[in-house]
Chains A and B, each alone.
Chain A
Amino acid sequence: QKEVEQNSGPLSVPEGAIASLNCTYSDRGSQSFFWYRQYSGKSPELIMFIYSNGDKEDGRFTAQLNKASQYVSLLIRDSQPSDSATYLCAASRGAQKLVFGQGTRLTINP
């Protein structure tokens, strides 16, 4: 079992709709969770982080964490073509190493 798992996709969403990305993790000691966006040929860009159970909103992005179910999600509202990218979920024990999933490729269709 991988430590962090994501559906590799591709996930196709129409422009203006809500994109929902999911991630599960196996290490119950994980305390911090991150979503990175990575465009083809570029490095990962941090877009959201969440440390406590519940929802965290930042603009069009909402991160959701459920530690009991070991589940993290990212919602992107009003999806734009520029949101088309690979989204990486990562978990860590505090300041320690990030453990990444394999990424979900998201395509927003105009």
Chain B
Amino acid sequence: DAGVTQSPTHLIKTRGQQVTLRCSPKSGHDTVSWYQQALGQGPQFIFQYYEEEERQRGNFPDRFSGHQFPNYSSELNVNALLLGDSALYLCASSPGTGRYEQYFGPGTRLTVT
């Protein structure tokens, strides 16, 4: 049973560029959440998708947007990259149906230069 997968593993972008990160949830999971983790900090919630809709959003600007596809996979898009967007981006999936545990993928390390 494959766990949560994310691509790419690492990414280097220049300020002002746009980036798309991808996530496939665990088999049987229908909810996907995205988090940003800066060095030495706990993950910060960006948004959560369920049934292809954004169900909840954290305190991130509109430059951060997302999408969930019918197969439950998800994308995170960040426009107009800033140096401060450099972080580990984590995708987590959860099974829904009364179970609240979230399982993380390996993450995408984004470096903005």
Q: Chain A residues in contact with chain B, CB under 8 A?
A: 4, 31-32, 34, 36, 42-46, 49, 51, 88, 90, 92, 94-103
Contacts and interface: CB of A to CB of B under 8 A. Distances in A.
B94 interface: yes
A103 B42 contact: yes
B48 interface: yes
A19 B21 CA distance: 37
- Measured as residues with beta carbon below 8 angstroms from the partner, the interface class of chain B is 20 to 34
- 8 closest A-B pairs by CB: A100-B42, A97-B45, A43-B107, A32-B100, A43-B104, A44-B104, A102-B42, A43-B106
B58 A97 contact: yes
Contacts of B100: 31-32, 49, 51, 92, 94-95
Given A44-B90, A95-B96, A88 B42 contact: yes
Contacts of B104: 36, 43-46
A34 B41 CA distance: 16
B102 interface: yes
Q: Is the interface of B mostly helix, strand, loop or mixed?
A: strand
B105 interface: yes
Interface in B56-97: 56, 58, 88, 90, 92, 94, 96
A41 to B, nearest CB: 9
B24 interface: no
B105 to A, nearest CB: 6
Contacts of B45: 97-99
A49 B99 CA distance: 11
Nearest to A93: B100
B69 to A, nearest CB: 20
A43 B90 contact: yes
A49 B42 contact: no
Nearest to B6: A43
A100 B41 CA distance: 9
A101 B43 CA distance: 8
Contacts of A36: 104
A104 to B, nearest CB: 10
A31 B101 CA distance: 12
